[in-house]
Amino acid sequence: MSARITLAPVESSALAGTLTPRRFDALLQLAILLVSAAAMAMISQPQPLQGWGFIVGLASQPLWFIATWRARQWGMFALAIFYTGAWTQGIVNHFHF
């Protein structure tokens, strides 16, 4: 005698609202787009937005680290490290630390 297990489709189950890896990646990519684009737009503006663009750019770096690590894109991960230094240098230069 064998037992038969039937699974309900994910969309109609209680798990439909959970954050799947695919949804997480989509949200991560959207966040990268919005925050990084905002940073670039801000640093191309005159004062005081220019300085805040470096801060927003630095704030975007954890998103880049997570995305490139998850995708195993080691070259992009290394580039994200470089960008972290560049954003930090922009903050130091702009705010005179």
For the stretch 40-94, pLDDT in tens is 999 999 988 999 999 999 999 999 999 999 999 999 999 999 999 999 999 999 9
Any idea what DSSP says for residue 20? -
Residue 46 Cα distances to 3, 35, 52, angstroms: 70, 19, 11
Confidence band of 97 (pLDDT split at 50, 70, 90): confident
In terms of phi and psi (left: phi > 0; alpha: psi -120 to 50; beta: otherwise), the region of 69 is alpha
pLDDT number for residue 11: 56
pLDDT tier at 32 (50, 70, 90 boundaries)? Answer: very high
